[in-house]
Amino acid sequence: MQPRQSSIRSVSPADYQAFQQFLQDACGIQLGMGKEYLVSSRLSGLMKEVQVESVGELLQKLRSSVQSQLKVRVIDAMTTNETFWFRDIGHYILMKETILPDLNQSRGGTIRIWSAACSTGQEPYNISMIVEEYESKHGRGRPVTIEATDISSKVLAEAKAGIYCGLTVERGLTVEQQKRFFTPNKEHCLEVRPEIKRRVNFRSLNLAGSYHSMGKFDIIFCRNVLIYFSNELKKDIVDRLANALNPGGYLFLGSTESINQLSDRFDMKVGHGGISYRLKS
Ligand SMILES: C[S@@+](CC[C@H](N)C(=O)[O-])C[C@H]1O[C@@H](n2cnc3c(N)ncnc32)[C@H](O)[C@@H]1O
């Protein structure tokens, strides 16, 4: 919802430029020209709360070392967290019909999956639901764990809770899926069932930073987030995601995103209405 017009403050060109730089340094997000309205509308509530009159003053507060919590809140406000259940459904079908059978044919320990910009949790929980469906049809194969990361602490807290209300539930879930994978609570919201939650670990990670703590994965979902970054950063991220994959591992990007121009380390695999990128050996 947009704040009332009266609460929107104008942003001077100098403040806008400095804020663009701050955001790019903090999380890689590139704000194009003419997005002053977005900055002021997303930050006006926070600016009122911390009693600053301009984006320039907010930046000054951010520069003082004791204000790291403020930085978290600015990033929370500036990230776009749009997501919904079973977004780009072809990816999930491809995973269930082709990739999980393929991974289960090869011997090995735990299958590790990374949801690298998980927002409010729909993506990692959907991955877990697909694994649940796969296992109920084919029996337990290799165990599966899902690491779910995002830079925004606000969405991570919602994701961890795993409770969804109103329209959020309806966006992409059939009634049958609601019954199978959720339990209703007293507030008429739906909570993700423990058997779906148990595979998923949430933690904070900046995709523009290091992935050393993450280890190696068989599948990485990095969907609908690269669009916010510069071309240079996109290439760097895709290269480092490739390094984080086991040989022959799979990468999913958003259905409107393409790996062309970003990396030649993957083969494109098309099937079941989805595209995956397989790491070349
Ligand atoms: C549009 S949502 C996409 C969610 C989900 N992957 C999907 O496709 O539905 C983009 C997410 O990327 C996160 N994000 C933005 N910049 C990031 C960064 N530098 N590191 C990690 N996550 C970031 C945002 O907080 C947001 O939750």
Fold matches, 5-78 and 89-279: no
Please name the residue whose Cα sits nearest to atom 3 of ligand 1.
224
Measured in Å, residue 254 CA sits from the centre of ligand 1 at 11
The pLDDT value recorded for residue 3 is 45
The pLDDT value recorded for residue 10 is 87
Q: What does the alpha-carbon distance between residue 272 and residue 92 come to, in Å, rounded to a whole number?
A: 9
Ligand 1 neighbours by CB, cut-off 6 Å: 27-29, 79-83, 87, 117, 119, 123, 150-152, 155, 206-208, 223-225, 228, 254
CATH number of 89-279: 3.40.50.150
Please name the residue whose Cα sits nearest to atom 7 of ligand 1.
83
Please name the residue whose Cα sits nearest to atom 9 of ligand 1.
83
Measured in Å, residue 6 CA sits from the centre of ligand 1 at 30
Class for domain 5-78, per CATH? Answer: mainly alpha
Q: How far apart are the first and last CA of the chain?
A: 47
Measured in Å, residue 80 CA sits from the centre of ligand 1 at 7
Measured in Å, residue 81 CA sits from the centre of ligand 1 at 6
The pLDDT value recorded for residue 182 is 98
Would you list the domain boundaries of the chain? Answer: 5-78, 89-279
Measured in Å, residue 105 CA sits from the centre of ligand 1 at 32
The pLDDT value recorded for residue 65 is 65
Query: What is the torsional sign of CA 272, 97, 149, 121?
Result: positive
Place of tokens 């930050």: 43
The pLDDT value recorded for residue 6 is 43
DSSP-derived secondary structure for 239-256: HHHHHTEEEEEEEEE-TT
Q: What does the alpha-carbon distance between residue 56 and residue 11 come to, in Å, rounded to a whole number?
A: 8
The pLDDT value recorded for residue 5 is 45
Rg (CA), the chain: 20
Place of tokens 């919602």: 158
**Ligand 1 atom closest to Cα of 28?**
19
The pLDDT value recorded for residue 8 is 59
Output DSSP code: residue 96.
I
Per-residue pLDDT of the chain (281 residues; tens, 9 = 90+): 444 444 557 899 999 999 999 999 999 999 999 999 999 999 999 999 999 999 999 999 998 867 689 999 999 999 999 999 999 999 999 999 999 999 999 888 999 999 999 999 999 999 999 999 999 999 999 999 999 999 999 999 999 999 999 999 989 999 999 999 999 999 999 999 999 999 999 999 999 999 999 999 999 999 999 999 999 999 999 999 999 999 999 999 999 999 999 999 999 999 999 999 999 98
Q: What does the alpha-carbon distance between residue 182 and residue 169 come to, in Å, rounded to a whole number?
A: 10
Structural tokens at position 30: 């590139």
**Ligand 1 atom closest to Cα of 115?**
6
